[in-house]
Structure 1
Amino acid sequence: MAETTGKVLLVDDEPGLREAVQAYLEDSGFTVQVASNATEGWELLQQATPDVVISDIMMPQVDGYQFLKQMREDVRFQALPVIFLTARGMTSDRIQGYQAGADAYLPKPFDPEELVAIVTSQIERRAAQSPDPETAPDIATMARQIEEIKALLTQRGSLIKSAVSPIKIDFTPREQDVLDLVSEGLMNKEIASRLGTTVRNVEKYVSRLFGKTGTNSRTELVRYALEHGLITG
């Protein structure tokens, strides 16, 4: 068995083709979940985000274009690679697929090795563009933490008043800047813009702040900073 190289969600209403593609991908080292329609596919997406989605276009009730639109309208799946696998090979259909936000389009019948090559390419491309998952929470998680931080800021006066004695942590000037801006409820992109740096660098600074304060989330970090007098702003 080949070493697992990524997680794939396969959505196709043809049992024979679905089973054949699943078997070939698994033999090639991928972990594959299958769904017989877009509704099942959407339910599986809620449970775990794969590295790439392969979807048929011609499906009953919800077709591939509608499924893709649903994914692209959800912030969690906007950057998720989607490959259309379909019997419709007309140029106009491919154009419609790309306009809908598909990343690749492979008409049936297809060479399984070509499908594996496309899946591998999409996963590697996404990995090269994505920040380190250990330092970057997903967007939905970050958005929730931002709301929690804003709620904390409404309690800032009482938190400071009831704070334990201030402590001294050896932050670098840039780490302190990032901490102050995180405590304002800013997203990494906004912090990067304020400081004239990259989002990736901001993520690294936030990760260091977690390590130095023994916290595991932005909300915990801000609460800890307020309670220990670590915010300069």
Structure 2
Amino acid sequence: MAGQLLLVDDEPGLREAVQAYLEDSGFTVDVASNAREGLDLARQKLPDLVITDIMMPQVDGYQFLKQLREEPQFKTLPIVFLTARGMTADRIQGYNAGCDAYISKPFDPDELVAVIKNLLEKQAAARSGGDDEVHNIADMARQIAEIRALLTQRGAIAQSTTPVKLDLTPREQSVLNLVVDGMMNKEIARRLETSVRNVEKYVSRLFVKTGTNSRTELVRYALEHGLTKE
């Protein structure tokens, strides 16, 4: 199962070796040498899973995990601790902090690959039940109603503000247009012939670029600033 991974470790030799092994196993791997770089890369790349060391200078793995979990797009992101801290108490602390797997150095690369595949499969299964940002039928109905209400006001909203220009990719623009049309992620995935996971990534990027936190806010922003075509 292919996936986009982010590896954060301050040891260059280990970082390069793990990256090479994971790429040989079919994954796309971005790397960072510290948590600050890792957070920036996570926001840019929206990885499917993060592998991080715990003992790093300035910002350690626990703080890094906390920073990720504080951002809506990373609430359910699988995170693996890959660390030399292998005592039982360390493992307990890691799981209590919210990691999804804890692997001690030295480790078997095949075990790491197996853990990653397992977590990605579980994540895919969890997502198959519905859109990531819509947790139940009531929320879905509320968001659809709010978006429809905004669409009825489309002309008035558009006339009251000044258009802005955002640096959107063609695919981001396509996804934005369909979100504004009131489509949910499954419908967008079918329309664009892609996966729900990819649509979720594009929607998350749109949230970041527009400074919004929900589909309703995103639709309002797009209408107010002339980001979609009639």
Alignment RMSD, CA only? Answer: 3.8
SS across alignment from 1:8: strand
Q: Does 2:105 match 1:108?
A: yes
Which residue does 1:190 correspond to in 2? Answer: none
1:74-153 equivalences under 5 Å are 74-131=71-128, 136=131, 149=147, 152=150
One of 63, 66, 69 as aligned partner of 1:66: 63
Q: CA deviation at 1:68?
A: 0.2
Q: Where does the alignment leave 5 or more consecutive residues of structure 1 unmatched?
A: 160-184, 186-201, 212-216, 224-233
> CA 1:92–1:53 in structure 2 vs 1: closer, same or farther (change >3 Å)?
same
TM-score (norm 1): 0.60
Q: Which runs of 5+ in 2 are unaligned?
A: 135-139, 158-181, 192-214, 224-230
Query: Which residue number in structure 1 is paired with residue 7 of structure 2?
Result: 10
Bigger-Rg structure (1/2)? 1
State the 1:107 CA deviation. Answer: 0.3
Does structure 1 residue 42 correspond to structure 2 residue 39? yes
Identical aligned pairs, as a percentage? 64
SS at match of 1:54: strand
Tell me by how many angstroms 1:58 deviates: 0.1
Corresponding residue SS for 1:117: helix
Distance 2:156 2:94 in 1: 54
User: Over residues 26-69 of structure 1, what are the superposed CA-to-partner deviations in whole Å (9 max), with x where a residue is unaligned?
Assistant: 01111000000000000001112111100000000000000000
Take 2:50 and 2:80, find their aligned partners in 1: how far apart are those partners? Answer: 6
Cα 1:6/1:156, change in 2 over 3 Å:
closer
Give the equivalent residue in structure 1 for 2:24: 27
Partners of 2:94 and 2:45 in 1: CA distance: 24
Figure out how many residues of one structure are paired with residues of the other and give that number. 166
CA apart distance, 1:73? 1.3
Instruction: Show CA shifts across 1:169-219 (max 9, x none).
Output: xxxxxxxxxxxxxxxx9xxxxxxxxxxxxxxxx866xx39x97xxxxx874
Once residues 2 and 17 of structure 2 are traced to their aligned partners in structure 1, the CA distance between those partners, rounded to angstroms, is: 19
The DSSP-based 3-state class of the residue aligned with 1:85 is strand
In 1, distance between residues paired with 2:107 and 2:49?
Answer: 18
> How much has 1:155 moved relative to structure 2?
4.6
Query: Residues 151 and 38 from structure 1, CA distance in 2 versus in 1: closer, same or farther, beyond 3 angstroms?
Result: farther
Distance in 1 (CA, whole Å) between partners of 2:105 and 2:7 is 15
Are residues 68 and 150 of structure 1, via their aligned partners in 2, closer, same or farther at CA, if it must alter by over 3 Å? farther
Q: Give the secondary structure class of the aligned counterpart of 1:99.
A: helix
- In structure 2, what is the equivalent of residue 164 of structure 1? none
Residue 137 to residue 93, structure 1, CA distance change in 2 (3 Å): closer
Residue 79 (structure 1) shift: 0.3
Q: Which amino acid aligns with 2:107?
A: F
**Following the alignment from structure 1 to structure 2, what is the Cα–Cα distance between the partners of residues 43 and 80?**
15
TM-score by length of 2: 0.61
Cα pair distance change 1:78/1:158, threshold 3 Å: closer
Note the alpha carbon deviations across 1:131-172, whole angstroms, 9 max, x for none.
Answer: 37xx84757xx9xx88x849938958968xxxxxxxxxxxxx
